[in-house]
Amino acid sequence: MRRVAVLLLIGTVAGTISEVQPGTAKKNPKDGLMYASIPSGSFQMGCSREDCPKNERPEHKVTISRPFWIGKTEVTVGAYKRFAEAIGRSMPPDTAEGYSVNPDWKGDEMPIVNVTWSDAADYCQWAGGAMPTEAQWEYAARGGSSSDPYGPLDEIAWTASNSGREHLDADSIFQNDKPHYEEILKSNGNAPHEVGQKRPNAFGLYDMIGNVAEWTNDWVDPSYYSQSPEVDPSGPVTGEAKVLRGGHFLYPSQPNRASKRLWNDPKDRSPIGGFRCVLPDLKMK
């Protein structure tokens, strides 16, 4: 298992909106969560800045040909409890990598974490949908914005600077005291927060940046962007690790952005790893 510290190693867009009024919300009766409509359209995927890692480049045009629905928030503990009870599955362990961010899963409005990729995929299938592709996820996360992230981080995201008991200058700590970075955050009680507390993007989606990283459907290939199809890319056919998106509560500011790509073994559990689901348009009618 990669340690959280490995995931700490440290992706701008104008979307073409069509067909669906963005941000229209409906409740999915299966899991009880709200889902937002995302229109079809085109955007620039990835990062154009030289300080972004090669796995986020080159920036390239991607077209999402079909509208879809995506969870307005990360899947919550309460929703996951309904899923686990419905299919007779145990809850995941509440501790991973030395972090217990929601002891005994008492906080129902917290994002579920410590789930494997298969746990997340099974939930999304039960809810009537699937895991988002990387392209769907990033298109939704950007919300048609030409900036990445789409607003000031303190307003839109729970990051290493604002997710603990005291506000920290996480960027400075990471730069000047990297060996003690994780220890300092842990001592400060840094953890994910209840979903939907920060400002949403233009599609009405909360916590796409920060809070917890989110599993996607795609296998990882760091060079995939140089060869991916322009329309509805679905990632490599096979691989050894699955991609997570969106940054998280242990990241300093720079990697908390829509283009950020990180990955992990699909069997691993992590306190920074959650997910949200996508549903096809027809399913929500």
Query: Could you report the per-residue pLDDT of 34-80, keeping only the tens digit for each?
Result: 999 999 999 999 998 888 999 999 999 999 999 999 999 999 999 99
Q: Is the pLDDT of residue 17 over 80?
A: no
Give me the pLDDT at residue 18, please. Answer: 41
Burial class (CB in 10 A: 0-12, 13-18, 19+), 50: exposed
Give Rg (Cα) of the chain.
17
Q: Is the pLDDT of residue 16 over 70?
A: no
Task: Find the length of the chain.
Answer: 285
Give me the pLDDT at residue 73, please. Answer: 98
Domains delineated in the chain: 4-284 (3.90.1580.10)
Query: Could you report the per-residue pLDDT of 156-194, keeping only the tens digit for each?
Result: 999 999 999 999 999 999 999 999 999 999 999 999 999
Burial class (CB in 10 A: 0-12, 13-18, 19+), 88: exposed
Upper half-sphere CA count for residue 46 (Cβ side, 13 Å): 21
Nearest to 102 by CA among 116, 88, 92, 117: 92
Which SS3 state, helix, strand or coil, does residue 73 take? coil
Query: Could you report the per-residue pLDDT of 85-111, keeping only the tens digit for each?
Result: 999 999 999 999 989 999 999 999 999
Give me the phi and psi of 25, to 5 degrees please: -120, 145
Give me the pLDDT at residue 281, please. Answer: 64
Q: Residues near 169 by Cβ (< 8 Å), separated by ≥ 6?
A: 161
CA dihedral angle for residue 121, residue 141, residue 205, residue 108, rounded to 10 degrees: 40
Q: Are 216 and 245 in contact (CB under 8 A)?
A: yes
Q: Residues near 149 by Cβ (< 8 Å), separated by ≥ 6?
A: 156, 157, 209, 256, 257, 258
Give me the phi and psi of 127, to 5 degrees please: -75, -5
CA distance 269 to 83: 18
Q: Are 227 and 246 in contact (CB under 8 A)?
A: no
Nearest to 139 by CA among 213, 218, 225, 208: 208
How many CB atoms are closer than 10 A to CB 197?
12
Give me the pLDDT at residue 245, please. Answer: 98
Query: Could you report the per-residue pLDDT of 190-238, keeping only the tens digit for each?
Result: 999 999 999 999 999 999 999 999 999 999 999 999 999 999 999 999 9
Q: Is the pLDDT of residue 1 over 60?
A: no
Which SS3 state, helix, strand or coil, does residue 144 take? coil
